[in-house]
Amino acid sequence: MSGVQTSPIIPKPRGRRAHYATWGFIVLCIFAMYHMEQSWHHLAEYITFYFAALQIGALLRGVCNLMEEIWHVQSRYRSSWWRVVVACLSPSLRRHMLLLLISICAYMALFSDTGLQLFLNLILLCLCQLLSFAFGLQVRSPSAVEVSEICEKNNRNVAQGLAWSYYVGYLKLVLPRLKDLISEFNRANNNLLKCKETWKLHILLPVSCEIYDDLQKADSHIQYWKDLPALQLDRAGTKWRSYKQSIYTILGEDKKVHLSSPAQRRGRATSMLVSRQRRQL
């Protein structure tokens, strides 16, 4: 088990180093401003102004996305207007609106502007953000690291999708009927698999994602012996689709022969092929 955990080809979960680095740079910026001997009131004015600009930009981006998504309410959001709003403005409504109100209040407290001047400044902020969106100056595609992190946090990696597909399309069908298949096999083979504690389907998960079509080539101690009775089901328009498990003899370190019914998770092979194909492109 320890060998699997320390294997260099298995990516480990991302930590909080990026978060710590952010706070490190914040401390450096505060340290630099402190030694520049600027007025803290003056610095607070600029920080509040730029912070308000960021929140306004986030809100405007959500509103612009909303103008497009309202044309896809039926096809993408099941005719639910609330889902459209949540999809476009959920982060903005939960975070940016509150921060924007705080920024505006702080702006009014720090600046001695009239209501008209404050309104004009807000319009200028909106105009700058909209011009940035229009000319593509602010919007950027997330980096590969950011995309990977988003997928990991939301359990949307290709491997996780393949795992669910393997469970729904294979294991959920085979496992409930496995004992019946083994019992049928025993009746035809003199009760060979009589120990019910060993009635298990062993799913092989190679660390390297290398899936062997012939297990005998992977290890000379593994030899094909027989097949369990085939499970036949009607699936996706295919009549009597067959699901078959093979039984192998395995020569252990104690020189004893053990029987096993292994199955390699084909999703890992698919994941590896997808990864290789992307690198070729």
pLDDT in tens, the chain (281 residues): 444 445 566 677 788 888 899 999 989 988 988 888 777 777 877 787 787 777 788 788 888 888 999 899 988 888 888 888 888 876 656 666 777 777 777 767 766 666 677 778 778 888 888 888 888 776 566 777 877 777 777 776 666 777 777 777 777 888 888 888 888 888 887 776 766 666 666 666 665 566 677 777 777 788 888 888 888 888 878 888 888 888 887 877 776 666 666 665 555 555 555 555 555 55
Give the other-Cβ count within 10 Å of 240's Cβ.
9
Cα 88 from Cα 191, distance rounded (Å): 62
Say what the pLDDT of residue 220 is.
78
| pTM: predicted TM-score of the whole model, two decimal places | 0.56
Per CATH, domain 158-280 is 3.30.1490.20: no
Q: Between the CA of residue 272 and those of 126, 145, 162, 169, what are the distances in Å?
A: 46, 19, 11, 20
Helical axes 115-134 vs 40-69, angle rounded to 10°: 50
Say what the pLDDT of residue 27 is.
93
Residue spans of the domains in the chain: they are 16-140, 158-280
Say what the pLDDT of residue 204 is.
63
**Interstrand relation of 202-204 and 246-251 (parallel, antiparallel or unpaired):** unpaired
With left for phi above 0 and alpha for psi between -120 and 50, is residue 135 left, alpha or beta?
alpha
Say what the pLDDT of residue 2 is.
44
DSSP-assigned letter for residue 251: E
DSSP, collapsed to helix, strand or coil, labels residue 196 as: helix
CA atoms within 13 A on the CB side of 219: 11
